[in-house]
Amino acid sequence: MKIIIMAWRNIWRTPWRSLVVIGAMSLGVWSGIFMMGWINGLNDQRTISMLDDNVGHGRICSKDFLKKPEVFSTINNLEALSNKLVADSNVTTFSSRVICNSMIRAGSGSAPIIAYGVNPNNEKKVFKSVQNISSGGFLKGQVGDEVVLGEALARKLEVDIDDRVVLTFQDINGDVRSALFWLVGIYDGASSMIEESIIYVPSKTISFQMGLIDSIELSNESQIIAHEINYRVKNPYEIEKANNALESSFLKNRKSESQSIVFRTWKEVSPDLGVADAILAQSLLLFMMIILLAMSFGILNTMLMAILERTRELGMLMAIGMNKKKIFKLIVSETILLSFVGLPFGLFLGHISLLITSKTGITLKSVEQGFEQMGLEATVYPSVVPEYYLPITGLVLILSFLSSIYPAIKALKLNPIESMRVL
């Protein structure tokens, strides 16, 4: 007990030295927490950005369509499925698409593209890319002969707003049909590849042209037929649960349907996003290790220096009669007491810095332009990650402890007489 009091007094006797050690520990904790928050925020932002752009959180289509995207491979029981999606508590919004592989002819060229027949109001709620209209406007409804192209495609075909565009495709009977559309808007997509291959048309118009529906009913708001439904959930990282719940709920009384419909999560739709996530997690571990090692060395070095600085003092203590075991305990106690100040302070710093930057964001000036081209924001919002606080604090505590042992042992080897003579 006396040792602890001595330790406490020692700490405050040499404020600078103590502050340095406290500083090193706080910094260790802060750096760990902040890095986790930063990387999480960065990765989530990127993943979510991609999900928002083109992937969606979950996707439903018919099994046949997945194998081969034919005109007639539509989703059965669309209405029942839509009702289920509306009722599901996890699902926030959804949008259905009619998918048409066709040739587009316009201006001075032609190209193979995929036309998405959509209900613009729903599509906008699920996907961000259709909100980035660089000229003109998006589709006005499910009916009409409007078409929206990507910037790269518009450039390639040399077309402008109000130009004629002809889509040639096969209808449900296998006949080749041509349909005229007028360009009303140009969108800025996530990549030029997407811009060159995806166009948007009103769902009912294209369904009618493809022979999927018999007439265009203006009164009925809901979509009658679709090849694919994309939906969003509250938390895309918990998509598996939501997807499974949705699937089992829908198939509960429809055993026969289970063979013809497929429910997929974004990880299945776009496996490379999932892989990027996994790679990141493991490289994060590596970086974390390096930072914590650097911190340990910092503490180690500081402690060593501290011991060196205290040789006189320690020598004196030993000369007075304090035995080596007690000196060891003294040094270790000092470290532990310092950590009682350093660790909480580091935690506080970490939490506050994440809290603030998660609202204001950190802007990466150097890549602002490049980011914007990709449709990403150059401002990253770190996430607050309370689940890491305990492990990181624990780790820093252990490392600090270990880092102080070596200097402590060194102290024991000191020769009391010599150390008093040191200059």
Of residues 202, 209, 44, the one with CA closest to residue 123: 202
CB 206, CB 37: distance < 8 Å: no
The answer to the question of residue 318 lying near other proteins (CB under 8 A) is no
- Cα-based angle 262, 74, 192 (whole degrees, multiple of 5): 80
Task: Please report the DSSP string for 362-408 in residue order.
Answer: EE-GGGHHHHHHTT--SEE-PPP-GGGHHHHHHHHHHHHHHHHHHHH
Residue selected from 83, 173, 244, 249 as contacting other proteins according to rule CB under 8 A = 173
The answer to the question of residue 306 lying near other proteins (CB under 8 A) is yes
Q: At its nearest, how many Å lie between other proteins and the CB of residue 318?
A: 18
Helices (H), 158-310: 192-197, 203-209, 239-251, 266-269, 271-309
Residues 6 or more apart from 7 whose CB is under 8 A from it? 330, 333, 334, 337
The answer to the question of residue 106 lying near other proteins (CB under 8 A) is yes
The answer to the question of residue 287 lying near other proteins (CB under 8 A) is yes
Taking the mean position of all CA atoms in its chain, how far away is CA 373? 19
* Residue numbers 212-251 binding other proteins by CB under 8 A: none
The answer to the question of residue 309 lying near other proteins (CB under 8 A) is yes
Q: At its nearest, how many Å lie between other proteins and the CB of residue 335?
A: 14
What is d(CA 134, CA 184) in angstroms, rounded to the nearest whole number? 11
Q: At its nearest, how many Å lie between other proteins and the CB of residue 349?
A: 11
Q: At its nearest, how many Å lie between other proteins and the CB of residue 19?
A: 8
What is d(CA 152, CA 138) in angstroms, rounded to the nearest whole number? 17
Q: Count residues contacting other proteins (CB under 8 A)?
A: 83
The answer to the question of residue 112 lying near other proteins (CB under 8 A) is yes
What angle, 0 to 180 degrees and rounded to 10, lies between the N-to-C axes of helices 271-309 and 15-50? 170
Considering beta carbons, is residue 87 or 285 the nearer one to other proteins? 285
The answer to the question of residue 28 lying near other proteins (CB under 8 A) is yes
The answer to the question of residue 35 lying near other proteins (CB under 8 A) is yes
The answer to the question of residue 163 lying near other proteins (CB under 8 A) is yes
Residue 110's φ and ψ, nearest 5 degrees, are -145, 160
The answer to the question of residue 103 lying near other proteins (CB under 8 A) is yes
The answer to the question of residue 417 lying near other proteins (CB under 8 A) is no
Binding map of other proteins across residues 376-415, x = CB under 8 A, - = no contact = x---x-----------------------------------
Residue found under tokens 């950590």: 339
How would you classify the pairing of strands 58-62 and 228-233? Answer: antiparallel
Contact region with other proteins (CB under 8 A), list: 128-136, 330-338, 360-368, 389-397: 360-368
The amino acid that residue 329 corresponds to is: K
The answer to the question of residue 158 lying near other proteins (CB under 8 A) is yes
* Residue numbers 249-268 binding other proteins by CB under 8 A: none
The answer to the question of residue 291 lying near other proteins (CB under 8 A) is yes
The answer to the question of residue 290 lying near other proteins (CB under 8 A) is yes
Q: At its nearest, how many Å lie between other proteins and the CB of residue 277?
A: 8
Residue selected from 5, 275, 319, 355 as contacting other proteins according to rule CB under 8 A = 275
Q: At its nearest, how many Å lie between other proteins and the CB of residue 123?
A: 23
What is d(CA 199, CA 189) in angstroms, rounded to the nearest whole number? 11
Residue selected from 8, 297, 348, 406 as contacting other proteins according to rule CB under 8 A = 297
The answer to the question of residue 178 lying near other proteins (CB under 8 A) is yes
How would you classify the pairing of strands 261-265 and 362-363? Answer: unpaired
Q: At its nearest, how many Å lie between other proteins and the CB of residue 92?
A: 28
